C-alpha cells in the first residue's frame, strides 16, 4: 500500500521521468562510500523491488532479487535486463555499464538461499503479518551485522521487527516510485533501531545517488503524513459546493503545484489513496485531522478508482480526462478570498500545520521535512519554508477561523505555530529565519 511513494511521483516536474533512466550519479563510481563488494538483496520482485535492485546493481553490488512466487524474480530480472539495454541504446548508460549491471543481477525463490548480505531490503505487500514472518526468516539466516530494512510506506518499524533477535538492525528505507529515478529515501528509525544501522542504511542509499531524510516510525512518516491535507481539503471543498473539482485543481496548480489534488488522486488510484489515508487515520486513533472523506469512500465503493478504471473524480478516455473543465473566473475569485473558500490558503495552512506539528513532536527536522515534501511530492516549496513566508501567526489565525467554521478538531492549530521553541531543544527551531 503506497501513495506518494508509488504513483504520485509521476507528476510532471523535476522528478518525473520514464522510470527507467537512472539518476546521473547512479553509477559504480557513486558507490565509493560503501564497499561495492557487499552483497545486496531485495525481497519482492514487484515494480518497487525491481527498481531498487536496478539501482543497487548499477552501483556495483552483486544483487539478489527474491520472490516466493515461482518464476517472478526471473521474469523481473528479464525486464530489468531489457531496461538496461534500452538505457544503453538511448545513450543513458554505456553498453559496458549496462552489461555489468545485468551480470550482477541474480534471483532466488527463498531467502534462506541468500549469501551473507550487507543489507536486505524488503519490498513485499503492505501486510504486517507477512513482513514479520519474513524478518524472522532473515534474522535467522543473516548475520547480526546485516542491515534488515523495510520499504514500508506506512507500517510501524518496531511492529515489523517483532521479536527478532538483534532488533537494532531493523530499520526503514522508504524508496519512492520509480525507485530508479526518484531521489528521495526516507530513513525510518524504530524505537529499537541502532544508530549504526541507520547510518549504514543512509550510506548505502546515498552511495546509490539518493537523498536521505530521517524520520521516526510515525504513521505515514514524513511524506504520506504531511501530504494528507492536500487531498482532503480539495475533496471537502468540492463536497461543500465551493467549486467543482477541475476549478479547485486549477487554483492549486496556479499556486505552483504540478498537479491538482483531485486529478492526482485519480492518477494515484482512489483505492490506493484512500487506503493510505485510512491507515494514517487508524494509526493516529482516528484523529479527525486524517479522517477520509465520504466522497472518496463512495468512489471506491462504486469502483470508480480513477484513470485505471476510466472513471474517478473525472471521466477518462485513453487516459485523458474528458470532463475536467475548470471555471477560470471562479478560481480567480476564490484565491485571495476568505480562507474557508480559498483553495490555496486553506490547503497550505493545513500542510504547514501538519509539518510544524511533526517537527514539534521531534519526529523529523524542519530541514528534512522541506526536502522530503519537495523531492517526494514535487511541491513548489517545503511547508516549513512556506509557513515562514506566510508567517506562522497568520497560519494559526487561518486555522482558528477554519476551526470555528468546522468544529471537531480537524483544523486545530498546532501549539508550535504560536509557542516559541525551547532554547535548550536541539531540534530545528520551526520559526528560525532562513539560513539560521
| Active site residue ranges | 153, 174, 186, 224
Measure the CA–CA gap between 190 and 209, rounded to whole angstroms: 24
Backbone phi and psi for residue 390, each to the nearest 5 degrees, phi listed first: -70, -40
- Decide: 115 and 39 in contact? Cβ < 8 Å: yes
b (16+ CB within 10 A) / e for 24-47: eebbbebbeebebebbbbbbbbeb
- Burial, 178: exposed, middle or buried (Cβ in 10 Å; 0-12, 13-18, 19+)? buried
Residue with grid cell 524488503, as numbered in its chain: 122
The x, y and z cell numbers of residue 266, run together, are: 485519480
Measure the CA–CA gap between 308 and 261, rounded to whole angstroms: 17
DSSP state of 292: P
Measure the CA–CA gap between 356 and 364, rounded to whole angstroms: 10
Residues 6+ apart with CB under 8 A from 227: 3, 4, 8, 351, 373, 377
Backbone phi and psi for residue 63, each to the nearest 5 degrees, phi listed first: -125, 125
CA-closest candidate to residue 429, choices 369, 360, 378: 360
Residues 6+ apart with CB under 8 A from 107: 64, 65, 66, 67, 73, 74, 76, 77
Residues 6+ apart with CB under 8 A from 78: none
Write out the E strands in 20-118.
40-43, 63-66, 105-108
Residue with grid cell 474517478, as numbered in its chain: 312
The x, y and z cell numbers of residue 369, run together, are: 521535512
Which residues are registered as beta bridge partners of 105? Answer: 63
CA 188 to chain centre: 12
- Burial, 408: exposed, middle or buried (Cβ in 10 Å; 0-12, 13-18, 19+)? exposed
Amino acid at each position: 500500500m503506497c501513495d506518494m511513494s508509488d504513483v504520485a511521483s509521476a507528476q510532471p516536474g523535476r522528478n518525473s521521468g520514464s522510470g527507467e533512466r537512472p539518476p546521473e550519479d547512479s553509477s559504480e563510481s557513486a558507490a565509493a562510500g560503501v564497499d561495492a563488494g557487499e552483497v545486496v538483496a531485495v525481497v519482492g520482485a514487484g515494480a518497487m523491488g525491481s527498481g531498487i535492485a536496478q539501482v543497487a546493481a548499477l552501483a556495483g553490488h552483486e544483487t539478489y532479487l527474491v520472490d516466493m512466487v515461482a518464476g517472478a524474480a526471473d521474469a523481473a530480472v528479464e525486464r530489468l535486463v531489457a531496461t538496461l539495454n534500452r538505457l544503453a541504446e538511448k545513450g543513458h548508460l554505456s553498453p559496458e555499464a549496462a552489461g555489468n549491471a545485468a551480470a550482477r543481477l541474480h534471483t532466488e525463490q527463498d531467502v534462506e538461499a541468500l549469501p551473507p548480505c550487507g543489507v536486505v531490503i524488503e519490498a513485499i505487500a503492505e501486510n504486517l503479518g507477512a513482513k514479520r514472518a519474513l524478518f524472522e526468516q532473515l534474522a535467522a539466516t543473516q548475520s547480526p551485522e546485516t542491515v534488515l530494512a523495510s520499504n514500508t510506506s506506512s507500517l510501524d518499524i518496531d511492529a515489523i521487527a517483532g521479536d527478532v533477535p538483534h532488533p537494532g538492525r531493523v530499520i526503514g528505507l522508504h524508496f519512492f516510485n520509480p525507485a530508479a529515478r526518484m531521489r528521495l529515501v526516507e530513513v525510518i528509525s524504530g524505537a529499537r533501531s541502532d544508530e549504526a544501522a541507520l547510518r549504514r542504511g543512509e550510506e548505502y542509499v546515498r552511495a546509490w545517488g539518493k537523498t536521505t531524510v530521517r524520520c521516526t516510525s510515525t504513521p505515514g512518516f514524513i511524506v504520506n503524513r504531511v501530504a494528507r491535507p492536500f487531498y482532503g481539503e480539495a475533496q471537502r471543498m468540492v463536497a461543500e459546493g465551493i467549486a467543482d473539482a477541475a476549478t479547485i485543481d486549477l487554483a492549486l496548480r496556479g499556486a505552483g503545484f504540478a498537479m491538482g489534488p483531485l486529478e492526482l488522486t485519480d492518477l494515484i488510484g482512489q483505492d490506493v489513496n484512500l487506503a493510505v489515508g485510512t491507515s494514517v487515520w487508524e494509526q493516529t486513533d482516528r484523529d479527525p485531522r486524517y479522517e477520509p472523506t465520504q466522497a472518496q469512500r463512495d468512489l471506491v465503493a462504486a469502483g470508480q478508482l480513477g484513470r485505471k478504471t476510466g472513471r474517478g473524480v473525472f471521466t477518462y478516455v485513453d487516459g485523458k480526462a474528458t470532463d475536467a473543465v475548470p471555471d477560470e473566473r471562479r478560481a480567480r475569485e476564490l484565491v485571495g478570498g476568505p480562507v474557508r473558500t480559498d483553495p490555496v490558503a486553506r490547503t497550505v495552512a493545513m500542510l504547514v500545520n501538519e509539518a510544524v506539528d511533526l517537527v514539534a513532536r521531534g519526529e523529523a527536522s524542519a530541514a528534512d521535512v522541506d526536502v522530503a515534501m519537495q523531492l517526494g511530492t514535487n511541491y513548489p516549496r517545503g511547508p516549513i519554508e512556506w509557513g515562514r513566508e506566510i508567517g506562522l501567526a497568520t497560519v494559526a489565525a487561518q486555522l482558528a477561523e477554519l476551526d470555528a467554521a468546522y468544529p471537531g478538531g480537524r483544523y486545530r492549530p498546532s501549539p508550535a505555530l504560536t509557542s516559541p521553541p525551547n532554547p535548550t531543544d536541539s531540534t530545528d527551531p520551526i520559526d528560525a529565519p532562513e539560513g539560521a
